[in-house]
Amino acid sequence: MAQQVKRAFKYRFYPTDEQARELLRTFGCVRLVYNRALEERTRAWHDEQRHISCAQSSAALTQWKKTEELSYLAEVSCVPLQQALRHLHSAFGNFFAKRAKYPRHKSRKKSRASAEYTRSAFTWHEGKLTLAKTAQPLDIRWSRPLPERTEPSTVTVSRDAAGRWFVSLLCEDTIEPALATPATIGLDAGIISLVTLSTGEKVTNPRYERRDRVRLVRAQRELSRKKKGSANRAKARRKVARVHARIADRRRAFLHKLSTRLVRENQTVVIEDLTVRNLLKNGRLARAISDAAWTDLRMMLEYKCAWYGRELVVVDRWFPSSKLCGTCNTVREKLPLHVREWTCDCGTVHDRDLSAARNILAAGLAASACGDGVRPQRESSRTGQSSMKQEPQRATAGISRLQVGEEVKRWPSRSRCAVVVRGG
């Protein structure tokens, strides 16, 4: 059955000089309002033990505009400023719910420059978008069509570090579920092979950052030689940003193609619950792990499975997928990192990655049959343990909960090691 979803469509556009000046002023005002409201909330709590609501912040914004110091806030559209206060309120809500850290100030150089416009602050007419305080519609490159008979409810304009302008249109879209298929797949993530599938296929990691490393190093070296605060340093910084943008764009396109293929071809997709944040603590492999972008792949699989009526099963991070023999159901206590193939006591020869992918699939299917619908926690609740598995393609040797001083131990139940996230 088709479902209605809120979907963002992102396009690149080329502003005129007037539009660019107006948007840059808006970005600066949004950043100032956000930071000032954050300071007021922090001060009120530390000095007076008092909470400031979003309505009180909005009233304070009105007073700021009346002062001589901040009178320029009235020169830009008020909607992005109000949206900045709402975003700050949401950030505090996530903090108090322990879903995020304490909100931080927006930096002029490091934070993403963006402004959000609601329906009252832009005009949509015959496929042309005109923002408040601007006279001409935006020159948008329509790389893909918007859903028919729909208008955007929210528009977000942004500018990245490379100087590229983007506009994101939030629209109602109808998603048709994919045709049902009996196929299932298990994924084992790695670095040499980005993912190893339970079918035996190994998807090579394209390593886009490594491909452009020479170009990136050269650009960064030129940046380090420029005088701080000079125009040449700003040009060199944009050059470095363009290299990073090229790497990120190619990586994102590859992950979209891979995730879409896996979701279309399989009814059930089983993955591991990797804690990438902990894996990045490995200094030798942190750069390669970041380039692999496992978190982005999981995020894409999650929302695409939900869109197209597929089932995503997440296997517990402590499940010993690499050290488990799928034939006799025994677990080796030790499996050195350099061992890519190993032989079980029962005589079965295992390819490390392929065996892990098949064990992940078996554990996921067992959990799916149990009907467990609880999403796993990404944060590790165990103290004194690392979520790094014994995978040379991922991290250094970790501590498995199965280590009990014996060489091998039988794995009692695979269904206890996975949870199901059903889509559709």
> Which residues carry out catalysis?
188, 272, 353
The answer to whether the CB of 23 falls within 8 A of the CB of 157 is yes
Q: How many angstroms separate the CA atoms of 277 and 199, rounded? A: 29
- Give the bridge partners for 123, in sequence order: 130
- If phi > 0 it is left, if psi is from -120 to 50 it is alpha, else beta; for residue 217 that is alpha
Distance from C-alpha of 166 to C-alpha of 351, rounded to nearest angstrom: 45
SS3 246: helix
Give kind and range of the element (H or E) at residue 223.
Answer: helix 213-225
d(CA 183, CA 57): 53
Concatenated DSSP letters of 292-337: H-HHHHHHHHHHHHHHHT-EEEEE-TT--TTTB-TTT-EEES---T
Cβ-contact 228, 234 below 8 angstroms: no
Q: Residue 140 in contact with residue 129, Cβ under 8 Å? A: yes
Q: Which CB contacts under 8 angstroms, 24+ apart, belong to 62-67?
A: 64/33, 64/36
**Three-state SS letters, 103-138:** CCCCCCCCCCEEEEEEHHHEEEECCEEEECCCCCCC
3-class SS of residue 55: helix
Report helix angle 231-265 to 294-308, nearest 10: 50
The span from the CA of 60 to the CA of 52, in Å, is 10
